[in-house]
Amino acid sequence: MKPLYCPITVDNFLDVYAASLNKKGEELCGDKIKYRRTDHKLTIVLSDGLGSGVKANILATLTTEILLTMLDADVPLEEVIKTVIATLPMCKVRKIAYSTFTIIQVNAETNHFTVTNFDNPACFYLRDGKIAPLTTRIENILDRQISISEGYLQRGDFLGAVSDGVLYAGMGITLNFGWGWEQISQYIEQVFTHKAHTARSIIQEVIQKTHSLYQGEVGDDATVVGIYIRKRKPLMIFTGPPLNQDQDVEYVERLLDFKGKKIVCGGTTGNIVANYLNEAIETDLSTLRKDVPPIGMLSYVNLLTEGILTISKATEYLKNCDCDLSHLRFDNNGAYLLSKEILQADSILFLVGQSINEFYQNPLLPKNISIRRNLIEDLVQFLRSKQKEVVIEYC
């Protein structure tokens, strides 16, 4: 039966999070998660290598890289699976695959999803906080059974995948065969009832429950990955005055009309916005630090900071925490606040003025290459490497 089409909302966001537990005594996880966003699709791959430790990690990593690289190149799914199966044959002793995998693909324009599963546990699909059945078919590819499920995601849906180490948590401790698919389903439903709905909160609850069932003796690598569909959190960062001063008003109005959070970085840029609003910038001296200037306050602007120094320090903070908000070290200064807003945003638009402040210009660089531009491009490159949706527009 073909899944019904569900209309999507433009401001929906595919919120992705993953977490793993290593088998006790192993430094490397035998499961591997990798995902990639493009303008047109989201692809997630979960691979479970045979055994544990270094060998399993290598097998899972190889499987994940092959799948993601080929799918990203739009190679037909059947050819992709044939390549992986041919590359990783069956274990002759145990008669099982060297590496199992789950592929989740979501069309970013229609929210149609496809789950391709080879010997991993079935996925968990929730709508309105309740487990919902998936439309699934079985295909035989090179004598291996591949299950393929399809559907359409809408806001509030959750789609998750696990490795078998999650299902087996607690096996033998309470004279059972592990946590089990049904119990996990019921637990996720409880999370939806009692906890905040983000991909992170859902996945963290499941992985923490898995860890507690193992009672500190994790018997197998365990991984959970999921997508939660929620309202997008957009952010615009306006930094640097426009090259053409006559366009100041145009870009200020664009900032103020933006449907999302608004940040202004730079003294001159802040003054342009203040003049338009007919306001004076108020400075919060409590945020002043030796290496970070204080923030300012303006109506309709969520954060107003100095430019070059603050952006540079914020980039340092983001790299140090590896783009993980839970690892961002608190300090109530402009760079911390800028970093926090960037990490909490789903999509970021940098509106970068190209008028050069001679005070900050490197005399060794051509006049058309500013320190600001280099800083922003370095930050954007890093954010994109961490799967952030980022756009730069120069003005």
- Distance CA(202)–CA(206), nearest Å, equals 6
Kindly list the strands in the beta sheet with 41-49, ordered across the sheet, starting from the edge strand earlier in the chain.
Answer: 31-37, 41-49, 99-107, 112-118, 144-152, 135-141
Domain 234-394 in the same topology as domain 12-231: no
Residue 50 is predicted with a pLDDT of 83
Residue 31 is predicted with a pLDDT of 94
Cross-strand bridge partners of residue 256? none
Instruction: Give the Cβ contact number of residue 15 at 10 Å.
Output: 20
Please answer whether residues 351 and 236 qualify as being in contact, where contact means their C-beta atoms are separated by less than 8 angstroms: yes
Residue 5 is predicted with a pLDDT of 41
Alpha helices in the chain (DSSP H): 53-72, 77-87, 164-167, 181-194, 199-214, 248-257, 267-277, 308-320, 334-344, 371-385
Consecutive 10-residue averages of pLDDT for the chain (395 residues): 43 92 92 90 92 88 92 89 78 65 93 94 94 92 89 95 89 59 93 84 94 88 95 94 90 95 95 95 94 95 95 96 92 96 95 72 51 90 91 92
Residue 173 is predicted with a pLDDT of 47
CATH of 234-394, one of 3.40.228, 3.30.1460, 3.30.1380, 3.30.2310: 3.40.228
Please answer whether residues 115 and 161 qualify as being in contact, where contact means their C-beta atoms are separated by less than 8 angstroms: yes
Which helix (H) or strand (E) segment holds residue 349: the answer is strand 347-352
Residue 93 is predicted with a pLDDT of 56
**DSSP for residue 329:** P
- Cα end-to-end distance, the chain, whole Å: 51
Residue 387 is predicted with a pLDDT of 84
Q: Which of 260, 278, 272, 344 is nearest to 307 (CA)?
A: 272
- Distance CA(228)–CA(127), nearest Å, equals 10
CATH number of the domain at 12-231, please? Answer: 3.60.40.10
Q: Which of 361, 380, 386, 381 is nearest to 371 (CA)?
A: 361
Token pair for 19 = 């977490």
Give domain limits for the chain: 12-231, 234-394
- Distance CA(164)–CA(125), nearest Å, equals 17
3-class DSSP assignment, residue 189:
helix
